[in-house]
Protein backbone atom coordinates (compact mmCIF):
# COMPACT_ATOMS: atom_id res chain seq x y z
CA UNK A 1 0.00 0.00 0.00
CA UNK A 2 2.93 2.38 0.48
CA UNK A 3 3.76 2.02 -3.22
CA UNK A 4 0.13 2.54 -4.25
CA UNK A 5 0.02 5.68 -2.12
CA UNK A 6 3.10 7.07 -3.87
CA UNK A 7 1.24 6.77 -7.17
CA UNK A 8 -2.09 7.98 -5.81
CA UNK A 9 -1.08 11.08 -3.89
CA UNK A 10 2.12 10.63 -1.93
CA UNK A 11 4.66 11.70 -4.54
CA UNK A 12 3.73 15.34 -4.96
CA UNK A 13 3.47 16.65 -8.49
CA UNK A 14 3.98 13.18 -9.99
CA UNK A 15 0.89 11.76 -8.26
CA UNK A 16 -2.48 11.05 -9.82
CA UNK A 17 -4.31 13.35 -7.42
CA UNK A 18 -2.05 16.28 -8.24
CA UNK A 19 -2.16 15.53 -11.97
CA UNK A 20 -5.94 15.41 -12.09
CA UNK A 21 -7.12 17.91 -9.49
CA UNK A 22 -4.45 20.60 -9.70
CA UNK A 23 -2.85 20.25 -13.12
CA UNK A 24 -5.78 19.13 -15.29
CA UNK A 25 -8.78 20.64 -13.48
CA UNK A 26 -7.06 23.59 -11.77
CA UNK A 27 -9.20 23.20 -8.65
CA UNK A 28 -6.66 22.90 -5.85
CA UNK A 29 -3.51 24.66 -4.72
CA UNK A 30 -2.20 21.42 -3.32
CA UNK A 31 -3.59 17.91 -3.04
CA UNK A 32 -2.21 14.55 -1.97
CA UNK A 33 -2.50 11.50 0.24
CA UNK A 34 -0.73 9.94 3.20
CA UNK A 35 -0.66 6.24 4.11
CA UNK A 36 0.28 5.21 7.64
CA UNK A 37 0.40 1.65 8.97
CA UNK A 38 0.58 1.05 12.71
CA UNK A 39 3.70 -0.67 14.02
CA UNK A 40 2.08 -2.74 16.75
CA UNK A 41 -1.32 -3.75 15.41
CA UNK A 42 -3.16 -4.34 12.15
CA UNK A 43 -4.58 -0.92 11.47
CA UNK A 44 -3.72 1.70 8.92
CA UNK A 45 -5.04 4.95 7.53
CA UNK A 46 -5.18 6.45 4.09
CA UNK A 47 -5.76 10.18 4.31
CA UNK A 48 -6.39 12.49 1.40
CA UNK A 49 -6.08 16.26 1.61
CA UNK A 50 -6.60 19.22 -0.64
CA UNK A 51 -6.41 22.99 -0.38
CA UNK A 52 -9.06 24.65 -2.49
CA UNK A 53 -11.32 27.64 -2.75
CA UNK A 54 -14.64 27.05 -0.95
CA UNK A 55 -16.59 26.89 -4.22
CA UNK A 56 -14.32 24.05 -5.44
CA UNK A 57 -14.39 21.81 -2.38
CA UNK A 58 -17.25 19.54 -3.46
CA UNK A 59 -15.66 18.99 -6.87
CA UNK A 60 -12.24 18.28 -5.31
CA UNK A 61 -13.75 15.66 -2.99
CA UNK A 62 -15.63 14.08 -5.92
CA UNK A 63 -12.53 13.96 -8.14
CA UNK A 64 -10.38 12.47 -5.36
CA UNK A 65 -13.00 9.75 -4.87
CA UNK A 66 -13.08 9.10 -8.64
CA UNK A 67 -9.30 8.74 -8.72
CA UNK A 68 -9.38 6.28 -5.81
CA UNK A 69 -12.07 4.19 -7.51
CA UNK A 70 -10.04 4.22 -10.74
CA UNK A 71 -6.92 3.12 -8.86
CA UNK A 72 -8.83 0.23 -7.29
CA UNK A 73 -10.35 -0.77 -10.63
CA UNK A 74 -7.32 -0.45 -12.90
CA UNK A 75 -4.33 -0.68 -10.57
CA UNK A 76 -1.11 1.09 -11.48
CA UNK A 77 0.92 1.11 -14.69
CA UNK A 78 4.41 -0.32 -15.17
CA UNK A 79 5.83 3.20 -15.22
CA UNK A 80 3.98 4.18 -12.05
CA UNK A 81 5.20 1.01 -10.34
CA UNK A 82 8.84 1.74 -11.15
CA UNK A 83 8.60 5.43 -10.21
CA UNK A 84 6.72 4.75 -6.98
CA UNK A 85 9.07 2.00 -5.86
CA UNK A 86 12.08 4.19 -6.58
CA UNK A 87 10.52 7.23 -4.88
CA UNK A 88 9.57 5.34 -1.73
CA UNK A 89 12.93 3.57 -1.50
CA UNK A 90 14.82 6.84 -1.96
CA UNK A 91 12.71 8.40 0.79
CA UNK A 92 13.66 5.59 3.15
CA UNK A 93 17.34 6.03 2.30
CA UNK A 94 17.12 9.79 2.86
CA UNK A 95 15.69 9.20 6.33
CA UNK A 96 18.85 7.33 7.25
CA UNK A 97 21.02 10.17 5.93
CA UNK A 98 19.62 12.78 8.33
CA UNK A 99 20.55 12.52 12.01
CA UNK A 100 17.15 13.60 13.36
CA UNK A 101 15.22 11.33 11.00
CA UNK A 102 17.58 8.43 11.67
CA UNK A 103 17.03 8.89 15.40
CA UNK A 104 13.27 8.77 14.80
CA UNK A 105 13.63 5.62 12.67
CA UNK A 106 15.69 3.94 15.39
CA UNK A 107 13.30 5.04 18.16
CA UNK A 108 10.29 3.73 16.22
CA UNK A 109 12.06 0.44 15.53
CA UNK A 110 12.95 0.08 19.21
CA UNK A 111 9.36 0.85 20.21
CA UNK A 112 8.06 -1.82 17.81
CA UNK A 113 10.69 -4.36 18.88
CA UNK A 114 12.37 -4.32 15.47
CA UNK A 115 15.87 -3.85 14.15
CA UNK A 116 17.06 -2.17 10.98
CA UNK A 117 17.04 -5.66 9.46
CA UNK A 118 13.22 -5.35 9.40
CA UNK A 119 13.57 -2.15 7.35
CA UNK A 120 16.04 -3.80 4.98
CA UNK A 121 13.68 -6.73 4.41
CA UNK A 122 10.75 -4.35 3.87
CA UNK A 123 12.74 -2.40 1.29
CA UNK A 124 13.67 -5.62 -0.51
CA UNK A 125 10.02 -6.71 -0.53
CA UNK A 126 8.87 -3.32 -1.86
CA UNK A 127 11.46 -3.48 -4.65
CA UNK A 128 10.04 -6.85 -5.78
CA UNK A 129 6.33 -5.95 -5.74
CA UNK A 130 4.26 -6.47 -8.87
CA UNK A 131 1.32 -4.48 -10.18
CA UNK A 132 -0.99 -7.42 -9.45
CA UNK A 133 0.17 -7.64 -5.82
CA UNK A 134 -0.40 -3.92 -5.34
CA UNK A 135 -3.88 -4.02 -6.88
CA UNK A 136 -4.80 -7.06 -4.77
CA UNK A 137 -3.71 -5.23 -1.60
CA UNK A 138 -5.72 -2.15 -2.61
CA UNK A 139 -8.88 -4.14 -3.27
CA UNK A 140 -8.47 -6.15 -0.06
CA UNK A 141 -7.90 -3.20 2.26
CA UNK A 142 -9.62 -0.14 0.79
CA UNK A 143 -13.38 0.22 0.39
CA UNK A 144 -14.29 3.58 -1.16
CA UNK A 145 -17.85 3.30 0.17
CA UNK A 146 -16.49 3.56 3.72
CA UNK A 147 -14.61 6.83 3.33
CA UNK A 148 -15.14 9.59 5.85
CA UNK A 149 -14.98 13.10 4.41
CA UNK A 150 -14.13 16.10 6.51
CA UNK A 151 -13.99 19.69 5.34
CA UNK A 152 -12.63 22.64 7.26
CA UNK A 153 -12.17 26.25 6.36
CA UNK A 154 -13.91 29.53 5.83
CA UNK A 155 -17.03 28.06 4.25
CA UNK A 156 -20.25 29.82 3.30
CA UNK A 157 -22.99 29.36 5.87
Task: Give whole-number Cα distances, 112 to 12, 68, 96, 99, 108, in Å.
Answer: 29, 30, 18, 20, 6
* CA gap 151, 58 in Å, rounded: 9
Q: How large is the average pLDDT for residues 55-75?
A: 96
The predicted-structure confidence for 121-148, as pLDDT tens digits, reads as follows: 999 999 999 999 999 999 999 999 999 9
Q: How many helices (H) and strands (E) does the chain have?
A: 7, 2
Q: What is the pLDDT of residues 29-53, one digit of tens each?
A: 999 999 999 989 899 999 999 999 9
pLDDT at 75 over 80: yes
2-146 belongs to CATH 3.30.70.1060: no
Amino acid sequence: LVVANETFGGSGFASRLMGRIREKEGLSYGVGSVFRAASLDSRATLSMYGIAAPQNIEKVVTLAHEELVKLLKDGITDEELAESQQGWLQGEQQKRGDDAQLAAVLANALYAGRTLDFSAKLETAVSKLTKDQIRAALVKHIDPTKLVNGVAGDLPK
